[in-house]
Amino acid sequence: MAIECLVLGAGQEVGKSCVVVTINGKRIMFDCGMHMGYDDHRRYPDFSLISKSRDFDHSLHCVIITHFHLDHVGALPYFTEVCGYNGPIYMTYPTKALAPLMLEDFRKVLVDRRGEEEQFTSLHISQCMEKVIAVDLKQTVQVDDDLQIRAYYAGHVLGAAMFYAKVGDSAMVYTGDYNMTPDRHLGAAQIDRLELDLLITESTYATTIRDSKYAREREFLKAVHECVAGGGKVLIPTFALGRAQELCILLDDYWERMNLKVPIYFSAGLTIQANMYYKILISWTSQKVKETYATRNAFDFKHVHNFDRSLINAPGPCVLFATPGMISGGFSLEVFKQWAPCEMNLITLPGYCVAGTVGHKLMSGKPTKINLDKDTQIDVRCQIHQLSFSPHTDSKGIMDLTKFLSPRNVILVHGEKPKMVSLKERIQSELRIPCYLPANCDTVHIPSTIYVKAHASNTFIRSCLNPNFRFLKRSKEDNSDQVLRNTNPTAPLQVNDERVAEGILIMEKGKKARVVHQDDLLLMLRQKKHDVQFAYCCAAQLDNLEETRNRDDALGLSDKCSSLQLLFKELSNYFSGVNIQDLGEHLQVESFHVSVCVKDNCPYRIIDDSQKEAATVYFCCSWSAADEKLAWEIISAMERFSLIDNLPCRNSISRTN
């Protein structure tokens, strides 16, 4: 099984975010956005790539929308109502509440003001939203028996969420847009440390390290304050939701602190009613704003009033929020025409404007005149302030999140290609995680995690849970495939408690795989254990042993012991990395036992007579198959002792190879 990731939008660009991921057979569409920069077929993701027959209900298991921005939700009514997708759609409560307003606002801009052919109707929007299942943060949603999804706070805008999806043993996160630093009205993104095969992250600011948002907020407030202090009027064109409330919180709070009396107005399209959504959803805002609910809800703006058309040319300063945000028509354009020619006034511009709108013209260069149509020309003498506090994470935030989650693979979307390339390099070199930058309509395949599932018997689990202390005289870098190794003898003794699992996996036709302890298996087979062991009685010749005996122990009583101890000393020196235990009567290494053989005719003394002649002592060894290699190494060493130990001054023998 693999994870297959088909990028339908926001591949190496910003706009129409849409990624279709197949994990272990489950197919999820993350985001269904529109591209604001196009008005032809390129506006929507190419849904035909999901299903040639356009049978979306059977080719998708669910659609997940991360937040209410149009580049993430703009194509949803088209996909459900025109393309006919009827399956489940998930988004957070605020997104479900606010997305239809954004969609409706945009539909109006396109249809009423740009005179375009309608892509979807108001009815489409409401019918589409009926199909949406709202989710809370951290709520684990069981889409079906195998597919689990969960939303995490993303910061970006009210209700923005990153989504976790898990199928079987494979899991992934799709971030949508997010912000790793808190701002005045929203908190920072928050996520658990998850075991992930794949992370798909936005990369709007792939190479930028941003200064704090507070600095830019101060700039904005300063510009507005200076303007009204000079008697000027401020026009803030916005969408009804999101930026309007965010800026309003800023201004309302600032007005309160500075004790300003200049009126702040909401235009008719931006009814105070819209604030109701924010009031109800206040628990999705920053901690500080959230806490205001009990006293005065921060979205109950004190200084904000409804605007009346007659006030456009009223004398005196004021601040006006008006739709649409890009000054593409409607009321904001009407006010713009009146206020732009006066240098006392100020007009703020949103971060992004569609080509062809007045907003877009104002953003490109510093025009002094704007042609609305053939007959209308407006002198622009007012000041222009560009709002730039886009709530996206910067590159440090992307790196931090990626490092925190440590996924097995990363895919970057929602960014500009050259910057994404350099971020990809960083992720691969600094974090050593494979990273991909698919373009639109590309598919990335990555392997998914799969575990073999089995039942485990209690005996097996218990045997694994027994402490399994090993005393290793090994240094850390010793990860050799060689069992024995002469490492630095001063290496500290390591106590190692590896919970080694040793069991037997049984596959029986028509039954689930089982892992049992070997005792369980014998029971199952109704068989008794039969030990198969190795034994060998090894002849050794230890000269210094002779000396010891002659000098210290005339009676020869401790003969056995002292030869064994001598052997212990020799072996310990020789195999300094191995833990040899001296148990008095015998020495033990793993299953290998060695003791002094006093029998005259030991059956395991498989040697010819010539060797018998030279032998001064016999060591009887036994071991099991598990330690075969070790056993033979010890035996050959023991035999070698007798061959080379004729030099009188030697205290110990070192390994020569």
Partner 1 sequence: MKFTCLSKGSGFHFPPCHILDVSGFRILLDCPLDLSALTIFYPVSPSPKMEEGEQTYDFAVNNCLDMRKRQKILKSLICAQPWYKTPNNLHLWDPSSIDLVLISSTMGMLALPFLTQTKGFSAKIYATEATTRLGQLMMEDLVLMHNEFHLFFGSDSGSPQWMSWEELELLSPALRQVALGKDGTELGGWMPLYRSADVEDCMKKVQTLKYAEEAWYNGTLLIKAFSSGLEIGSCNWTINSPKRNIACISSSKFYSVNAMEFDYHALRGNDLILYSDFSSEGILTNDEHDNNFSASTTYNPSTPSDCSADNDDRILKECLLRNDESLEERQKLAFICSCVVDSVKAGGSVIIPLNQLGIVLQLLEQIPVYLESSAMKVPIYVISSVAAELLAFTNIIPEWLCKERQKKLFSGEPLFSHSELMKGEKLYVFPDVHSPELLTNWQEPCIVFSPHWSLRLGPVVHLLRRWREDENSLLVLEDGLDTDMALLPFKPMAMKVLQCSFLSGIRLQNTQPLLEMLRPKEVLFPEDLREQIKFSGSHSFSVLYYAENGTLGVPRSKGSVDLEIASDLATQFSWRKLDHDDVDITRLEGQLFIDHGKHQVLSGNKVSEPSRKKPLLHWGFPDVEKLLALLSRMGVKGSVERCMNDAESGSDEIVHIHEPSMALIEVRATRTVISARDEQLASLIFEAIGTLAGGI
Q: Which residues are catalytic?
A: 202
Please say which residue, 59 or 204, places its beta carbon nearer to Zn ion. 204
DSSP summary character for residue 422: H
Quick one: how far is CA 608 from the chain centroid?
68
The answer to whether 80 and 44 are in contact (CB under 8 A) is no
Please say which residue, 115 or 603, places its beta carbon nearer to partner 1. 603
Please say which residue, 18 or 143, places its beta carbon nearer to Zn ion. 18
491 near partner 1, rule: CB under 8 A: no
Mutual orientation of helices 559-574 and 543-552 as an angle, nearest 10°?
A: 140
Q: What binding mask, one character per residue, do residues 387-406 give for Zn ion by CB under 5 A, x or -?
A: --------------------
C-alpha span between 168 and 153 (Å, rounded): 24
As measured in angstroms, the least distance from the Cβ of 543 to partner 1 is 23
Please say which residue, 71 or 633, places its beta carbon nearer to Zn ion. 71
Q: Single out the residue of 229, 439, 483, 614 in contact with partner 1 (rule: CB under 8 A).
A: 483
Amino acid type, 530: H
Count of chain residues binding partner 1 (CB under 8 A): 83
3-state secondary structure of 104: helix
- Pick what 71 binds: partner 1, Zn ion, none; C-beta below 5 to 8 Å, kind-dependent: Zn ion
3-state secondary structure of 517: coil
Please say which residue, 532 or 555, places its beta carbon nearer to partner 1. 532
Please say which residue, 13 or 71, places its beta carbon nearer to Zn ion. 71
**Both structure tokens of 149:** 């999804």
518 near partner 1, rule: CB under 8 A: yes
- Pick what 40 binds: Zn ion, partner 1, none; C-beta below 5 to 8 Å, kind-dependent: none
Cα 595 to Cα 549, 575, 598, distances in angstroms? 18, 18, 9
The answer to whether 567 and 575 are in contact (CB under 8 A) is no
Residue 500: CB atoms within 10 Å: 10
451 near partner 1, rule: CB under 8 A: yes
479 near partner 1, rule: CB under 8 A: yes
- Pick what 493 binds: partner 1, Zn ion, none; C-beta below 5 to 8 Å, kind-dependent: none
H or E element at residue 618: strand 617-624
Residues numbered 171 to 190 that lie near Zn ion (CB under 5 A) are: 177
Q: What binding mask, one character per residue, do residues 538-557 give for partner 1 by CB under 8 A, x or -?
A: --------------------
Q: Single out the residue of 491, 506, 561, 615 in contact with partner 1 (rule: CB under 8 A).
A: 506
Please say which residue, 42 or 485, places its beta carbon nearer to Zn ion. 42
**Both structure tokens of 577:** 């990395």
Residues numbered 60 to 79 that lie near Zn ion (CB under 5 A) are: 69, 71
302 near partner 1, rule: CB under 8 A: no
CA neighbor of 539 nearest in space, from 615, 632, 636: 615
As measured in angstroms, the least distance from the Cβ of 435 to partner 1 is 23
- Pick what 96 binds: partner 1, Zn ion, none; C-beta below 5 to 8 Å, kind-dependent: partner 1
Q: 366 — phi, psi (to 5°)?
A: -120, 80
141 near partner 1, rule: CB under 8 A: yes
Region of 406 on the Ramachandran plot (φ > 0 left; ψ -120 to 50 alpha; else beta): left
- Give the gyration radius of the chain's Cα atoms: 38
Please say which residue, 528 or 551, places its beta carbon nearer to partner 1. 528
**β-strand pairing of 410-415 with 198-203:** parallel
Q: 373 — phi, psi (to 5°)?
A: -150, -165
The answer to whether 234 and 247 are in contact (CB under 8 A) is no
DSSP summary character for residue 320: E
13 near Zn ion, rule: CB under 5 A: no
As measured in angstroms, the least distance from the Cβ of 427 to partner 1 is 24
H or E element at residue 400: helix 395-405
As measured in angstroms, the least distance from the Cβ of 177 to Zn ion is 4
Residues numbered 153 to 182 that lie near partner 1 (CB under 8 A) are: 169
The answer to whether 102 and 45 are in contact (CB under 8 A) is no
246 near Zn ion, rule: CB under 5 A: no
Please say which residue, 244 or 354, places its beta carbon nearer to partner 1. 244
As measured in angstroms, the least distance from the Cβ of 335 to partner 1 is 25
As measured in angstroms, the least distance from the Cβ of 413 to Zn ion is 10
- Pick what 421 binds: partner 1, Zn ion, none; C-beta below 5 to 8 Å, kind-dependent: none
Q: What is the residue whose two structure tokens read 């998930």?
A: 90
505 near partner 1, rule: CB under 8 A: yes
Count of chain residues binding Zn ion (CB under 5 A): 3
Q: Single out the residue of 121, 190, 207, 297 in contact with partner 1 (rule: CB under 8 A).
A: 297
645 near Zn ion, rule: CB under 5 A: no
Q: Single out the residue of 121, 338, 449, 544 in contact with partner 1 (rule: CB under 8 A).
A: 449
Residues numbered 615 to 634 that lie near partner 1 (CB under 8 A) are: 622, 624-626, 628-629, 632
Contacts of 375 (CB under 8 A, 6+ apart): none
Residue 294: CB atoms within 10 Å: 7
Q: 188 — phi, psi (to 5°)?
A: -85, 160
Q: 589 — phi, psi (to 5°)?
A: -130, 115
C-alpha span between 336 and 346 (Å, rounded): 10
197 near Zn ion, rule: CB under 5 A: no
Cα 257 to Cα 231, 393, 501, distances in angstroms? 20, 29, 66
- Pick what 523 binds: partner 1, Zn ion, none; C-beta below 5 to 8 Å, kind-dependent: none
As measured in angstroms, the least distance from the Cβ of 246 to partner 1 is 18
As measured in angstroms, the least distance from the Cβ of 298 to partner 1 is 11
Please say which residue, 229 or 505, places its beta carbon nearer to partner 1. 505
